[in-house]
Structure 1
Amino acid sequence: MKIRLLIGSLFLISFLNMKAQEKFSVNANLKTEPTDKIDFNETSIGISFSTAINSKNKIKNTVEYSNLKVNYDAGSFEVFENLDQFIELKNKFEISHEISNTKLNLSLTPTANFQKTLDFSDVTLLGSFEISQQLNLNTNINVGVARTAVFGYPQFLPTLSVQYKVNDKSALMIGFPDSKISYSNNIRNAFSLTNSFNGTFYNLDHTLIANNGTKISTSQMTSAFEYERNVDKNWFINFKAGYDFNKKYNIIDNDNHKVYDFNTGNGYILGIGIKYKQ
């Protein structure tokens, strides 16, 4: 119980220290992804605060919780059927500083990824540093480095994106790990096509003796169509439909080497969410 309290304090320390918040949002999402022999169902909720310290500095803090449930076809993976639920907690603290046409963006994200029992060993520090340069009125480029788990385990990777505002209704972003084409025909409707590399990992409660497996690793490239509707002044609903390519669901060891491959195959994804913001 003490461990849970201390880890909770680590995640909430920056969240509670924010004062005079200017912006606030809460979102909840449901997502399902069936594959040939395994179905993945995820629920998540996030709470975010952001504020401008002054004209050049802004901060944002987001606390997120997600619960991944895994359903195996009967008889397909009997040895691993106890690997059916995984939890992720993360607290993302972001700060940006503007210098002329350049913006410096820093994020720190302590994250806890575990099966059922939370411990200090489950906490990992992720984050990123990015330089954003405004090239002209409609174009800016972002270059940086991130410690991220988009390929299923923590590692340092370069990040790059070019953002271009086509007109008042549409915009384009091309880069790694995320790309996006967005369009809004009015103030209530927003449409987008996205492509992203994404993944995570979860520490197992007990080492799998047969192969020294200590973590579950998931990763994929997701292409999706998303629609968001502003149904009221502060309320939004969103729908997501897409497909996961190069889907990987593996057991890995402490050195992030694959020790078992579930060979899930690819699968389509469907998601729905609701958001409140002010």
Structure 2
Amino acid sequence: MKVRFLICSLFLISVLGLKAQENFSANVNFKTEPTDKINFNETDIAIFYQKELGTKSKIANTLDYSNLKVNYEFNPYNFYEDQDKFNQIQDKFEYSYEMSEKTKWQFSIVPTANFQSNLDFSDLTVLGSLAISQQIGSKVNVIVGAGRTSIFGAPKITPIVAFDYKMNDKTDFRIGFPDSKISYSNNVRNKFSLTNSFNGNFYHLDESINADNNAEKAVLSQMTSALEYERNVGGNWFLNFKAGYDFDKKYNLLDSSDHKVYDYNTGNGYVLGIGIKYKQ
């Protein structure tokens, strides 16, 4: 009941906010990440909207639900027989303000509930970030900041650095941490991107599962390089495809002090994804 109430409440807040929207999108994505020992399959549903507040400030909100299913092909000890499904409900609120014509700062707060099947208040975690961007000339933008993120699995403070360069009307270039990207659009319907990102997540384990080994979190992290393609298939509808590879992939169990309890040694693997999006 707690899970259903929280999900319904978050979606109700987002729907009410759509009355004042200026930009809106909704998307569903499916992703598979097989490795030598374990296969990961994730379904993600997200709703995004943003609104300008006057001429200098803007707010944006993204409500996201994801379900991760884990298939253990090699399981000699049944050590993780119940750790095959993880859930996340996340709401990202962003506020940006133009301090001057070329300087802008952005603040985000991200309450997130990461759990298996039993949602509890102890599963709630607050992430977020603060960054400043500085426009240099007409083509270059530099971003610096820091945030509490889960890109390395367990939540921790990480830097944010990016150098954006608009090469021409068709090509954009970003190099930075945790994300880098080159985008090319040959017309209004096609967009190609080459991306590299450090990304990860964590999930609180149910009490019945961690009783024997003191594990309290399952954490995943990797660096992903991928080729992505987005196609406008008509009107406001878009299809997107993703193919890439995970490097330095880790899947561990941690105790209450974030010390490693168990390492699954998954090895690296490729990534395949497909999604559909409506945006206006």
TM-score range, shorter chain: over 0.9
Partner Cα distance (1:137, 1:266) in 2: 40
Partner Cα distance (2:75, 2:103) in 1: 56
How many corresponding residue pairs?
A: 278
Residue 56 in structure 1 maps to residue 56 in structure 2: yes
- 1:43 match: 43
Shift of 1:188: 0.6
- 2:96 match: 96
Partner Cα distance (1:125, 1:7) in 2: 17
Deviations 1:71-126 (A, max 9, x none): 01154452212100000110001111012211110111100000111111101000
Q: Mark the runs of 5 or more structure 2 residues left unpaired by the alignment.
A: none
Change (3 A) 1:51 1:185: same
2:233 to 231, 237, 242: 231
Q: Mark the runs of 5 or more structure 1 residues left unpaired by the alignment.
A: none
1:249 to 248, 251, 254: 251
Shift of 1:205: 0.6
Check conservation: 1:11, 1:90, Cα contact below 8 A: no
SS in 2 for 1:5: helix
Shift of 1:10: 6.5
What is the one-letter code of the residue matched to 2:132?
Answer: I
Partner Cα distance (2:6, 2:227) in 1: 40
- 1:155 match: 156
Question: TM-score under structure 1 normalisation?
Answer: 0.95
Partner Cα distance (1:198, 1:214) in 2: 20
Change (3 A) 1:75 1:155: closer
Check conservation: 2:2, 2:119, Cα contact below 8 A: no
Check conservation: 1:11, 1:91, Cα contact below 8 A: no
Question: TM-score under structure 2 normalisation?
Answer: 0.95
Shift of 1:12: 5.8
Deviations 1:126-157 (A, max 9, x none): 01101010011000100011110000011111
The percent of aligned pairs where both chains have the same amino acid is: 62
Change (3 A) 1:20 1:149: same
- 1:201 match: 202
Check conservation: 2:113, 2:125, Cα contact below 8 A: yes
Residue 108 in structure 1 maps to residue 109 in structure 2: yes
2:218 to 208, 216, 219: 216
- 1:273 match: 275
Shift of 1:241: 0.2
Deviations 1:160-218 (A, max 9, x none): 00000001110110000000011111111000100000001000012523431011000
Aligned CA RMSD, in angstroms, stands at 1.7
SS in 1 for 2:79: helix
What is the one-letter code of the residue matched to 1:248?
Answer: K
Change (3 A) 1:93 1:174: same
Partner Cα distance (1:19, 1:258) in 2: 46
What is the one-letter code of the residue matched to 2:88?
Answer: E
